[in-house]
Amino acid sequence: MLDKKFLWFVIKFLLLFGVLYVGTLGVIGLAAPGKYYSPFVAQYLDYVSWIKNSLMWSAGIFCGWFGYETYQMPGFILRIKSGAGVLIAMSCVGYGVYSFWTAYVIANDGNWRKKFLWVTGGLLLLWIINSIRIAMVLISIHEKRPMPLGIDHHTWFNIVAYIFIFSMIWLFERQGRQLKNGKDVHQPTNHFNNNNQQIIS
């Protein structure tokens, strides 16, 4: 028999993921110069560019920890001084994994405070992983070294990101089960009816 609760979760997840993913593509399209360009979206709602700027900033910090001084150039380019540079393209933003994680948490059970904390914490972790990825790519290009095992950086990011996502899903579900079990354990049992007579079963 089909679990209606699980089916409802899947429907909510797919709808939320679609809205977040396609909505992000819409923002990208409206913020880019062209036929559908929207100055309002470009100025006030272009969160994809905000993410790209934050990734350049954080990747530059990670590079600095390893002794590589970087600077930012127009067009979302991060460059090592007197060295190589990388372009932070749309495919580097990671909005696919952000959308997946956000949709999963919101589609689940729980109060909004719990969901907010899990979404925020998960997005921050994925953002840090992405920043490290960009820093590694820049240093790898600068030092003329291939990525580990010859796998391109996009694939590496997806592998690592989804390992962390499924680990967070396990922790999220584990916390949910613990809270549910705690409620069941502490739930008071009514052994008396309205006439204060004990019910024997």
Q: In the structure encoding, which two tokens stand for residue 194, read together? A: 């309205």
Q: What ranges do the domains of the chain cover?
A: 47-177
Residue 59 pLDDT grade (very low, low, confident, very high; cuts 50, 70, 90): very high
| Of residues 182, 198, 179, the one with CA closest to residue 190 | 198
- The 10s digit of each residue's pLDDT in 87-112 is 999 888 999 999 999 999 999 988 89
pLDDT computed for residue 45 by the predictor: 93
How many Cα atoms sit within 13 Å of 72 on the Cβ side?
14
Dmax over CA atoms of the chain, in Å, equals 87
Give the β-pairing of 77-80 and 85-87: antiparallel
Which tens digits make up the pLDDT trace of 159-185?
Answer: 899 999 999 999 998 887 877 776 654
- pLDDT tens readout for residues 33-53: 888 899 999 999 999 999 999
